[in-house]
Amino acid sequence: MSKINISPRISTLPLSAVRKLVPYANETKKKGVLIYHLNIGDPDIKTPEAMLKVLKQWQINPIGYAPGIGEPIFLDALLTYYHRLGQIFVKKEDLIATIGGSEAVAMALFAVTSQGDEVLVFEPFYSGYLPPAHLFGVKLVAVPTRIQDGFHLPPKKTIESKITTKTKAILFCTPGNPTGTVYTRQEMKMLVALAKKRGLFLISDEVYREFIFVNRSHVSLLEFMTQIPDQAILVDSLSKRYSLCGARLGVLLSLNKAVIKGVSIMAQGRLSGGLIDQHLAAKLIDVPHSYISAIQKEYRKRRDFLYEGLLSIPGVTMTKPEGAFYCMVSLPVKNAEQFCIWLLTHFRDNNETVMLAPGAGFYITPGQGKNEVRIAYVLKISQLKRCIQIIAQALSAYNTQVM
Ligand SMILES: Cc1ncc(COP(=O)(O)O)c(C=O)c1O
């Protein structure tokens, strides 16, 4: 019998930067060790009560499909959300409800590229962009940004130098994962000008829109959408905003009718997003503003605490994140992935350790990010305090051991 092989398409899929070390963590947990998870952005903040109530009082039986493009009650609520943001030009037909922002990213990439095309990303970038690009045969081309510039955009000519005849889009995220960088109005204007000049799509991932810790407001692609109606695509998600990661709720928003038509056919192809999820998410318009402002306050406190704490560790460098709930941190080690593995497999303090995401997984340029880690501050201050103690002790022990 001839040998059965799976496709190289799947066997070469890149491993998720945030989940890569999970097998080590599972082994460690089996031994009764407590692991603080700073590796993944799954918030510990409670989901709004108004949403949970829908689950507790659920009556619809049977639980059928929702329309492919989204349950009307959810689309109406999203429309209200964007109108409240001041974007009154948005219409219901510009929205597709997706299965998380992840599906919106994949659909946007599928809609604007063909196999062999290129999409610019600002490195380091969210590693979740890699799998759909790989699946569709699209090359992500890295435009480097620097830790000493707070990962803000490089000059326009640097970005332009990466554009080829195959470039179809610029995919970016503000506030950024993994960097926490919030692009300024000037930077957003530059991207819009570049898209106009070079005829590119802009795909703006704004799933952390509400998490801004600097004294300037978030500048959304929505503000420029009517200037470049055919080129702008917004990716959004409820996962982080309402602590709904497990409910899988996202949005693709575009004024380009051909994009929306194509994506709605894709959406029909996978039949439906979750009916229950969309009904509970429709309550987003009943979530009081105090819920969001309390979260903003909490994450800002955590950001400040973590920043001060990490910088007090000898050899650790970082820039203060401006938003989201992530930071890229440079550690005094040669290979941060080895250090992250060692933390899980060897290091214990009072039978506790921490799990970090190796920074190199957020770069595609070989050798970049080798001494960096990404930290998600999705734990309480008391837990972050403990994590900082553990990281400090571990670095000292690791460097003594490898010397
Ligand atoms: C920048 C960014 N975009 C999109 C997503 C996708 O999230 P979800 O599929 O849960 O909406 C994430 C998740 O971490 C993210 O960090």
Q: Are 76 and 91 in contact (CB under 8 A)?
A: no
The Cα 210–Cα 233 span in angstroms is 19
Ligand 1 atom closest to residue 245's alpha carbon, by position in its atom list:
10
Residue 338 forms part of a structural domain: yes
Nearest to 265 by CA among 107, 381, 28: 107
Number of domains in the chain: 2
- The confidence band for 254, taking pLDDT boundaries of 50, 70 and 90, is very high
Range of the domain at 66: 49-286
- Nearest atom (ligand 1) to Cα of 105: 4
Answer yes or no: are the C-beta atoms of 230 and 261 closer than 8 Å.
no
Give the position, in ligand 1's atom list, of the atom nearest the Cα of 99.
9
Q: Does 178 contact ligand 1 (Cβ within 6 A)? A: no
pLDDT of residue 12: 87
> Separation of 374 CA from ligand 1 center, angstroms?
15
Establish whether residue 239 lines the binding site of ligand 1, counting it when its CB lies within 6 angstroms of any ligand atom. Answer: yes
- Whole-number pLDDT of residue 16: 78
pLDDT recorded at residue 403? 53
Name the percent of the chain lying above pLDDT 90: 93
Q: Mean of the pLDDT values across residues 134-148?
A: 95
For the chain, the straight-line distance linking the first and the last C-alpha, in angstroms and rounded, comes to 53
Residues 364 and 255 in one domain: no
Q: Are residues 125 and 192 in the same domain?
A: yes
**pLDDT at residue 401 in the model:** 79
300 domain residue, yes or no = yes
Same domain? For 189 and 223 the reply is: yes
**Do 382 and 351 share a structural domain?**
yes
Both 183 and 68 in one domain: the answer is yes
User: Out of 6-10, 84-88, 365-369, which region has the weakest mean confidence (pLDDT)?
Assistant: 6-10
Among candidate residues 234, 262, 286, the one where a domain is terminated: 286
* Count of CB atoms situated within 10 Å of the CB of 173: 26
Residue 121 CB neighbours (<10 A): 23
Q: Last residue of some domain: 254, 286, 318?
A: 286
Res 389 pLDDT > 80: yes
From ligand 1's centre to the CA of 399, what distance in Å?
34
Q: Distance between alpha carbon 204 and the CA centroid of its chain, in Å?
A: 11
Q: Are residues 185 and 159 in the same domain?
A: yes
Instruction: Give yes or no for a contact between 284 and 238, defined as CB atoms under 8 angstroms apart.
Output: yes
Regarding the beta carbon of 205 and ligand 1, being less than 6 Å apart is answered: yes
Q: Which of 271, 286, 301 delimits the end of a domain?
A: 286
What is the number of H-type helices and E-type strands within the chain?
A: 13, 12
1 in a domain, yes or no? no
Q: How far is CA 361 from CA 212, 247, 324, 356, 357, in A?
A: 25, 26, 19, 12, 8
What's 30's domain CATH number? 3.90.1150.10
Q: Minimal CA–CA distance to 90: which of 205, 278, 253, 258? A: 253
Q: Work out the average pLDDT over 303-322.
A: 96
pLDDT for residue 3:
87
> Do both 41 and 135 map to the same domain?
no
| Mean pLDDT confidence for 91-107 | 98
Is residue 181 exposed (0-12), middle (13-18) or buried (19+ Cβ within 10 Å)? buried
Alpha helices in 214-288 (DSSP H): 257-269, 275-281
pLDDT at residue 13, rounded to an integer: 86
> Is the shortest distance between the CB of 101 and ligand 1 below 6 Å?
yes
Mean pLDDT of the chain: 95
**Distances, alpha carbon 261 to alpha carbons 254, 264, 283, in Å:** 10, 5, 27
The answer to whether the CB of 108 is under 6 A from ligand 1 is no
pLDDT tens per residue, range 333-361: 999 999 999 999 999 999 999 999 999 99
Asked whether the predicted pLDDT for residue 18 surpasses 80, the reply is: no
- Mean pLDDT, residues 167-181 taken together: 97
pLDDT over threshold 70, residue 88: yes
